[in-house]
A and B are shown apart, each in its own frame.
Chain A
Amino acid sequence: MRLTVDGQEREVTPRAGQVLRTLLREAGVTSVKKGCDAGDCGACTVLLDGDPVHSCLVPAHRAEGREVVTAAGLGSPDDPHPVQEAFLAAGGYQCGFCTAGYVVTASALDDAQREDLPRALKGNLCRCTGYRAIRDAIEGVASTEAGALPGRSARPPAGARVVTGREEYTLDGPPPGAGAGPEPGEPRSTGGLLHLAVVTSPHAHARIRAIDARAALGMPGVVAVLTHADAPDTLYSTGRHEHRTDDPADTRMLDDVVRFRGQRVAAVVAESVAAAERARDAVVVDYEPLPAVFDVDAAREPGAPLLHADKPVANGIDGPERNVVAEWHAERGDVAAAEAAADAVVAGTWTTARVSHAALETHATRGWLDAEGRLVLRTSSQVPYLVRDELALLFDRDPATVRVFTARVGGGFGGKQELLTEDLVALAVLRTGRPVQWEFTREEEFRRAPLRHPMRVRVRASGTRAGVLTSLAVEQVMDTGAYGNHGRGVMYHSVHESVAAYRCDNVRVDACSVYTNNPPSGAFRGYGLGQVIFAIESAIDELARELGVDPVAFRRRNVIVPGDPVRVAELEPPSDIAYEGAHGAGQCLDLVEARLEATAGEDAVAAERLPEGWRVGEGVALAMIATIPPRGHRATARVRALDPSDPDDAGAPLYEVEVGTAEFGNGSTTVHAQLAAAALGTTPERIRIRQSDTGLGGYDTGAYGSTGTVVAGTAVHRAATRLAEQLAAGGAREAEADHDGLRRTVAFNVHGVRVAVDPASGEVRVLRSVQAADAGTVLNPEQLRGQVEGGAAQAFGSALTEEVVVRDGAVVNAAFRDYRLPKFGDLPDTEVLFADTSSGLGPLGAKSMSEAPYNPVAPALANAIRDAIGLRPTALPMRRDRIWRLANGIPEPPGVH
């Protein structure tokens, strides 16, 4: 059939049952994205004869003879559509994966729809921005500028391409073998692109007796079926860190024991996604079911089914015989004595839910062999170098024969600090010799990609009427699921800066990370801190109330000040981390308190118009975070002067930066261009950045722990400064620098909210939301504001509505439709204030700030709800039904979703 796409006539042959989205993408129209493939996210929106449609729901046959316009057809970088210009000017995107759908939808709104944007945009999800910047774009507010140096709001270098649907994401390049460009890695693989789909376990725990793939192998298009018999024996972890031993070696690429429902059992490799998926059902697996355990307490009982008893402690598992991945017990001072002497002691138990990162781009990898026989992987990763190193180890190859790179990545939030798709793709490429691709479905994201660790946190805190915190005891138990990826690191981190934030002479921590037959948990923005901060900041609030001290004043009195040791229970304060410079914590508390005071009158007027029965309350919470993960985070950068062929071309790049950091909406690339430009006396537009490609050489631990600015940024700035010096002295035209990130400092975030609560329904409405951030020197104000807003938005979601519900080890709600991700209009605007601080450890005085804004939001909300209704919510999410039960004295029924 014929149709017109972006002005071009096309002849296509749709398959029966195909949708317009895949028809377009298979035809090379990659300005159409996929966030869900189910109508929920809007990333696939195109105009069909002028009307916006979710192309993932449009039967392809209905597009016959019609005209399709995608984001790329609306405008181009040189001639953008007004809506695209507005998104660029307002910085209405971070990763930009939602943007193509957004600009198409926004281009089709009439005036009446613009009057009611929450209705008009409820079908377009954005995980990164928190929506304020998108609203600004649609309302024509501009806040970014071209050519801006550090301290001003430069645009992301890729901005014009993002808003016009041109920027390539993981699967947007032409497939290798289909005339891929001359970029390094010209494919040697022969034959077309193969696709991979996995057979998964219906059992929470089982031994595989046998796998019969004969029928599947006989099906049309099937090229290979890979099982544990084909996979390397080496144990590893999907969680990736600078030090491989940070995570337990408890995972086999394909195992003959499965430990959670949905675990991969075999990989089918076929000529098309459909062929692979169809053949999946034909793989016959004979399971011997084993007893399973889903509860962190039951899992530690004697006689509980053991998940990894076959592995030694040396693999990084503290107690394989008790399902314990890691545990830590320590005390400094004497908590019991302090409690006995205190004027008040508070105690409570707080719980948090599983949360999906919900990055709009699902995990995906495309792999092939290049002309030199190197294994090349193009993947959606935050840590391409760590992926390379681990794959080299697993396949026993020289790392030089493995190249891993990323294009722009559609969101991360910690979820892409994992090796989830790369390993099987590598296996399939090496086995078949052909290019292979694996793209997670949204359902797989919910069932197989790690989720935020659910935790149970008991806190006891005591203090004196003078307002002194005299003891703090934290007992944390977390469900790491069937595998321990990040199960150690998250545990240690969760009780670190959360506890260390306060000066307190008597501290005890008991933390335990437990295996169960639930789907694995993993790294999530905040890396465990948010869960424990929810508990501690709630307890601190309660203690202050008990003592009759204002909660903000209590924090001011007890938070650490510059020069204090940053420690938990260690007697000898650690030497690698120090609170230096100005008192960011104090400033943040002051800023938020002042802002809440200043808006009290205005909010009281608004609150008077609430119906009878609604109650208003105010809450504040504080969060501290280390600017870099412990024990080293390395980055190298190379900067070279170019020789533009036409020196008069004002758009031609003058310098090229090579750096390892992936860009997934973290904005590091923008900052790197600004830093290099400042050092070299030019503007960011004249800097070309090549990044996140192990093929460039160099090294980068990866974009996690909010290190894009403070570690890689420092390396870039140093290299650029060095080059400037060399050039001035007539020296070499290329310079290199690195940074080991061994010395660390801390940064603070304080969040304040004013809420209205309806006890009759449990609805919580946020009247005011303000966050102060101690980010050191602000290199790009709008971008930083966006990071804080986005972090707060994600936190509002997990605080109020989001939960991945798991019953007997099975995910119940594996679709956006059933998950309650905040939509446009669901969220309050968060006003962002910056403390006036500077760090000697970051480039030009900057601190890191991308995970941290997430952490103080849930406790601030809980404290405000407590203030409003006199009762304290202790479980996340603080869903309407829970608040309703709390307010009305109704017990929580067992087994509520």
Chain B
Amino acid sequence: MDLIEVGSVRVARTRDDLALGPGEHLLAGGTWLYSEPQRGVTGLVDLTGLGWDPVESLPGGGLRLAATCPIARLHELPAPPSAAALARECADALLMSWKIQAVATVGGNVCMALPAGAMTAFATALDGEAVIWRPDGGERREPVADLVRGPRTTTLRRGEVLRAIDLTGAALGARFAVRQLSLAPRGRSAALLVGRRDADGAVALTITGSTPRPRVLRFASPPEPDALAEAVADAGPWYDDVHGAPDWRAAMTARLAEQLRAELAGESGTTAGPSGAGDVPDAPGSSGADS
């Protein structure tokens, strides 16, 4: 929708252009900014004019995702198969259409810091590190898991710009499995969980959607069901909004976590669909699996 208070749009070409005037805000894909009335937003500074490479290689098999990397690029990420599948599933775990995925950015989704932010889930599961440009010309780094503090809250201070998210080769080489659940088929995530198993046997469970901010449960070796259940039970408080009541979210998180544990404990290297019941057949006229 038209942003009626916006009086100027500057397309940034250099880092210097990112200095924000009063009322100015950063514009990435614009898919959230233009989807709601924006009180007090009187100017926009378009990040996409900086021409950042969406995806760059880092030494050691790592990848740098520019903040302005369109979410759709995650469907063709140059990464090992399990991480590449994770990227696709996280992109499709978002409520937005593929048309919007082509415009919305990875950084924009993380900066929104919504519980259903599937890019936050993706980056957190990969121990992604946020590269942040400070207004003084400096730079700071912080794990995405810490950057996101709660619904619509990050550690970013005014003038700071998320430049990129760096992923290490080691993390990209891990094995992943995903589960997503919502109140409707293809709905907004009430819970989005990623399980990860490293070559050394360590297991990490990233919980998003059901908690106000990402939670990561780490285990040096694959946990027993009880140990996992106990850890998950402590992962609250559970998020409460129209996309799921806290009691249901807590129970679903426990259930999906156990499914991920079982899957990662198995030898199979495949990831299931992002559904709570990934192998349910499509019966005639069925509503199909969640995705």
Contacts and interface: CB of A to CB of B under 8 A. Distances in A.
- Most A CB within 10 A of own CB, among B43, B99, B187: B99
B291 A767 contact: no
A884 B251 contact: yes
B99 A16 contact: no
A767 B285 contact: yes
A212 interface: no
Contact of B284 (A45, A611, A767): A767
26 contacts: A16-B9, A17-B5, A19-B2, A19-B34, A22-B2, A39-B97, A51-B99, A53-B102, A53-B103, A59-B30, A119-B92, A121-B97, A123-B96, A606-B281, A758-B277, A765-B287, A766-B286, A768-B284, A800-B184, A805-B242, A813-B242, A818-B188, A826-B186, A831-B285, A880-B183, A880-B248
B241 A38 contact: no
A22 B3 CA distance: 11
Contacts of A61: 9, 11, 46
A124 B248 contact: no
Given A278-B4, A881-B247, A897-B242, A828 B184 contact: no
Question: What is the interface residue range for chain A against chain B?
Answer: 35 or more
A801 B182 CA distance: 11
Interface in A26-55: 37-40, 42, 45, 51-54
A333 to B, nearest CB: 42
A45 B100 CA distance: 11
Interface in B139-189: 181, 183-188
A607 interface: yes
B284 to A, nearest CB: 7
A122 interface: yes
A885 interface: yes
A113 B6 CA distance: 37
B242 A812 contact: yes
Nearest to A275: B4
Contacts of B97: 39, 42, 54, 121-124
Interface of B: 1-9, 11, 27, 30-31, 34-36, 43-44, 46, 92, 95-100, 102-103, 181, 183-188, 240-245, 247-248, 251-252, 255, 276-277, 279-281, 283-288, 291
Given A16-B6, A813-B242, A820-B187, 10 more contacts: A17-B6, A17-B44, A19-B2, A22-B2, A40-B35, A51-B99, A59-B27, A761-B276, A801-B183, A826-B288
Contacts of B2: 15, 17-19, 22, 273-274
B245 A897 contact: yes
Given A17-B4, A767-B283, A884-B248, A57 B30 contact: yes
A531 B185 CA distance: 24
Interface in A590-610: 602-603, 606-607, 609-610
B280 A610 contact: yes
Closest 8 CB pairs of A and B: A123-B97, A17-B6, A606-B283, A881-B248, A17-B3, A37-B1, A274-B4, A828-B285
A720 interface: no
A277 B37 CA distance: 11
Contact of B247 (A42, A441, A758, A890): A890
A39 B283 contact: no
A15 B285 CA distance: 47
Contacts of A52: 99
Contacts of B243: 818
Contact of A59 (B4, B34, B251, B288): B34
Interface string A199-238: 0000000000000000000000000000000000000000
Contacts of B98: 113, 119-120, 123
A818 B242 contact: yes
A332 interface: no
A880 B279 CA distance: 19
A571 interface: no
A881 B283 contact: no
A760 B280 CA distance: 14
A566 B210 CA distance: 51
B277 A118 contact: no
B23 to A, nearest CB: 12
B22 to A, nearest CB: 15
Contacts of A800: 184
Given A17-B2, A56-B1, A801-B184, A765 B102 contact: no
